[in-house]
Amino acid sequence: MVKTTIFISKLEIDKDHTINLNRNKSNYISNVLRLKTGDSIHVIDGQGSRYEALILGINHNIVTISIVRKINYEKVFYKTVLFQSILKGSSMDKVIREVAECGIKEIYPLITERTIIKKTNKITRWINIVEEASEQAGRNHIPVIHNPICIKDISFICQNNRDSIKLVFNREGLFLQDYLFDNYLESSILFVIGPEGGLLQKEIDILEKTGFIKVNLGRYTLKAETAGPLATTLIHYFIDKKISTL
């Protein structure tokens, strides 16, 4: 049976093993799931560790839990970093939720020339979304949401990821599977998803000068909100398959 999983920061867990949950988590535990005193749940700290916790009591709609033991630590063998062009409306929320469920480690909202949304105040909202998505997916790690950047900023980020594989998705590129199988050597994977209408050629040129390689997701043109989750899923699938053969 899959245990209910909630996120509590490592700082809070280390401070005290008896924890009062906030109202949102308390409501979810007591009113939505209808768990009772004595029931056990799982707690993740967002940094790889998973714990077993016991519900000590429910008082004035606040759930109190006690951390019983550390169950495991989820080691990350490689890091996936998504540079996702900011999408309008709820599309960006959808992308962030789905890539978090699929295993992404870091997300950089990206401003391009064709990006309609040039400024955003949704960072806190997106942080909440990745926490909820990671709880739902049973991940021990919580993806990091960075502040928005521009195409030219990517080169500075790459300086801290010199040995990484860098991909920009483009229909004219190489097959993703072939490139990953030929080039993956226990490194991080950074990849860029453009806006609706795609990246401008001059933006692709900037990325290629930084070391990005053009790859494709198949013969068809995908919506921007579809490309990110699909790319994340395929990258993790192909790399995990590659690792299993080493």
Residues 235 and 189 occupy one common structural domain = yes
Residues 86 and 155 occupy one common structural domain = yes
Nearest to 127 by CA among 155, 112, 147, 110: 147
Average pLDDT over residues 166-171: 91
Predicted confidence band at 3 (pLDDT cuts at 50, 70, 90)?
A: confident
Nearest to 43 by CA among 125, 106, 134: 134
pLDDT of residue 240: 85
pLDDT digits (tens, 9 = 90+) for 29-76: 999 989 999 999 999 988 889 999 999 999 988 999 999 999 987 777
pLDDT of residue 244: 73
CA distance 37 to 44: 20
Domain end position, chosen among 22, 57, 73: 73
pLDDT of residue 102: 93
The mean of the pLDDT values for the chain is: 90
Residues 85 and 59 occupy one common structural domain = no
pLDDT of residue 1: 58
Predicted confidence band at 2 (pLDDT cuts at 50, 70, 90)?
A: low
pLDDT of residue 94: 96
Residues 105 and 221 occupy one common structural domain = yes
Please say if the pLDDT value at position 10 is more than 90: no
Domain end position, chosen among 73, 89, 107: 73
Cβ contacts of residue 130 below 8 Å, gap of 6+?
96, 97, 100, 107, 142, 143, 145
Please say if the pLDDT value at position 86 is more than 90: yes
Number of separate domains in the chain = 2
pLDDT of residue 231: 94
What residue spans of the chain are helical by DSSP H?
Answer: 10-15, 23-27, 91-101, 123-137, 154-158, 176-183, 201-209, 224-245
Residues 134 and 229 occupy one common structural domain = yes
Residues 170 and 143 occupy one common structural domain = yes
Residue 105 maps to which CATH number? Answer: 3.40.1280.10
pLDDT of residue 233: 95
Residues 106 and 32 occupy one common structural domain = no
Residues 63 and 86 occupy one common structural domain = no
DSSP tag of 32:
I
pLDDT of residue 246: 62
Residues 137 and 205 occupy one common structural domain = yes
Please say if the pLDDT value at position 222 is more than 90: no
Residues 12 and 107 occupy one common structural domain = no
pLDDT of residue 96: 97
Lookup: tokens for 234: 């395929």
Angle between helices 224-245 and 91-101 (to 10 degrees): 10
Q: How far is CA 5 from CA 53, 128, 155, in A?
A: 10, 15, 37
DSSP tag of 161:
-
pLDDT digits (tens, 9 = 90+) for 189-219: 999 999 988 999 999 999 999 999 999 988 8
Domain end position, chosen among 34, 58, 73: 73
Predicted confidence band at 14 (pLDDT cuts at 50, 70, 90)?
A: confident
Residues 174 and 54 occupy one common structural domain = no
Which structural domain range is residue 175 located in? 80-245
Secondary structure string (H, E, C) spanning 192-212: EECCCCCCCHHHHHHHHHCCC
